[in-house]
Amino acid sequence: MKKVLIILLLFNINTSKVYSIEPDVFIQSTVNRASQILSKNISKQEKINQLKSIAKDTVDIKGLGFYSLGSARKNLNESQKIEYFKLFEDYFLKSFSSRLAEYTNPEIEVNSKKVLNVNYTIVNSVLVGTSERPEIKIDWRVYTKDPKNPLIRDLIIEGLSLARTQKEEFSSILNSNDGNINALFKTLKKFSKN
Amino acid sequence: MLMYEKFVITLISIFLLSFNAIAGSSGELVLSENEKPKKIKDCFEKLNRVTFSFNQGLDKAIITPIAKGYRKLPDPIQRGTGNAVKNLSTLITIPNNVLQGDLKTAAINTGRLVVNTTVGLLGIIDVANKIGFPKYVKEDYGQTLGAWGVGPGCYLVLPVLGPSTIRDTAGSFANVLGGDPWYNASIHGNNEFLNEGVFLTSKALSGIEFRANNIESFDNLEKNSLDFYSSVKSLYLQDRENKIENQNRGNIEVIYKNEEDWEEIDSQ
């Protein structure tokens, strides 16, 4: 009986370790998946579709959507929230995958990580330089509240945060339209349709 | 330069900085320990957007075609040009290292300038880099003002030159008020080799070199932005914050100093 308990205990410890994913391993595996797609001899649209699927698995799109909206998120009613998330997801997936699809055969090396707190780890990586472009530093802000399911919340390219840029872009659109959320919805729709 | 020109530039600089001080007191970027960074105001947004459109037109009609042509030049020529304009920029970086109290880097950059200008054939070859000098980091008078605690003031888009702030524009006036030895030697040097044309050509090459290195990035950003003007503004201001803080990977504390948004989202 004692042996069985010990085995069960060990199994339990072991399985909990198996399911916890280190943020740097998570990022390296994500960029490897993306890199494989970008190296494939398939159409650009097909690449975009496959990159969208990776982004859905690995990015906290809902959290990012809330963040991008800034304080305006507090004024949304339930139906507006539902509409916003649909529009934001379409916009984000298109924008994110189109940006990545421009790169052919990118090689990203994960170098180090810095645990900020229980919720966040910054993973440092570089996009390896080629004869056509210099090396580019890319840091990933990984949300680790659920260690079994880490999610990307931001990309910081050469010190420039994409989440912050997106938030300021949304804020500018709202400010130019007297805070009218429908103007932002319209802009998001237009972007996704084009 | 004529005396009255210097007087006018000094007056404009004083005006810009005093305006900046007023704007700063009404809520510009402050990064003290206990305060979160406040948003930089876009006081002249309508005018800025018009200037931005003008710059985009100029960029598409003239600058991008030249930059694309430049990219077709043989690699050694592009590399040599890039090195030469970078070498000239050390003439502005060194006094700014001193003004920021970083004497060690000022000494290193002086060594870099001497080696590259002599052995490196007027900066065409970056010998200092090959023999192991530390990585070169540009500094300018806008950064020095920032390091001294002067707030950025309102965001500005300058014709041809692009994004700036009141502080950075005021800082760049220091170049023509004696702060740029290359400008002084070209314009007032009284020698047969340098003149205004040489100075302007070097500045134009610097701009074209920058544009040629960023053709795809700019196209990509424009294509995937909801509001290109706002994206460029955000990226410019983030970049300046990093440069003033001397953070080449970005300063996590600055980027995420305002954590309330994420914290609120986490608790929902």
Concatenated DSSP letters for A88-149?
Answer: HHHHHHHHHHHHHHT-SS--EEEEEEEE-SSSEEEEEEEE---SSS--EEEEEEEE-SSTTS
Name the minimum distance, in Å, from the CA of B11 to any CA of chain A.
33
Mean pLDDT taken over chain B: 84
For the stretch A4-52, pLDDT in tens is 555 555 545 444 445 788 999 999 999 999 989 888 888 888 988 999 9
Choose among A148, A141, A172: nearest CA to A64: A141
ipTM of the complex: 0.83
Q: Which residue has the tokens 């305060």?
A: B35
How is residue B239 written in tokens?
A: 């970049």
Q: What string of H, E and C letters represents the secondary structure of A144-155?
A: CCCCCCCEEEEE
CB count within 10 Å of CB A65 equals 22
Specify the pLDDT at position A134.
Answer: 78
Q: What is the CATH number of the domain that holds A153?
A: 3.10.450.710
Nearest neighbour of B250 by CB, restricted to A66, A98, A159 = A159
Selected residue of A85, A94, A103, A158 to mutate for chain B interface (largest B Cβ count, 10 A): A158
Residue-level pLDDT at B209: 93
Contact B220 A66 (CB under 8 A): no
Quickly count helices (H) and strands (E) in chain A.
Answer: 7, 5
pLDDT tens track for B81-132: 999 999 999 999 999 999 999 999 999 999 999 999 999 999 999 999 999 9
pLDDT for A193 equals 87
Q: A136: which strand partners?
A: A127
More confident site: A13 or B41: B41
Cβ atoms B184, B6 nearer than 8 A: no
Task: Name the pTM for this structure.
Answer: 0.84
Q: Which residues of B touch A (CB under 8 A)?
A: 75, 213, 216, 220, 223-227, 229-231, 233-235, 238-239, 242, 247-252, 255-256, 261-262, 265-266, 268
In terms of residue numbers, what domain contains A39?
2-193
Task: List pLDDT tens digits, range B154-206.
Answer: 999 999 999 999 999 999 999 988 889 998 888 887 777 888 889 999 999 99
Domain count, chain A: 1
Q: Which residue has the tokens 């004024």?
A: A75
Sign of CA pseudo-dihedral B248, B249, B250, B253: negative
- Asked if A44 has any chain B CB less than 8 Å from its own CB, the reply is no
CA-based nearest residue to B13, from B143, B183, B142, B190: B142
Nearest to B74 by CA among B63, B64, B82: B82
Interchain contact, B255 vs A161, CB within 8 Å: yes
Q: What is the mean pLDDT of the segment spanning B23-34? A: 40
Least confident of A140-144, B136-140, B175-179: B175-179
Q: Measured between alpha carbons, how far is residue B135 from residues A11, B108, B248 in Å?
A: 50, 10, 11
Q: How many CB atoms lie within 10 A of CB A176?
A: 16
Handedness of CA B14, B16, B22, B24 (dihedral sign): negative
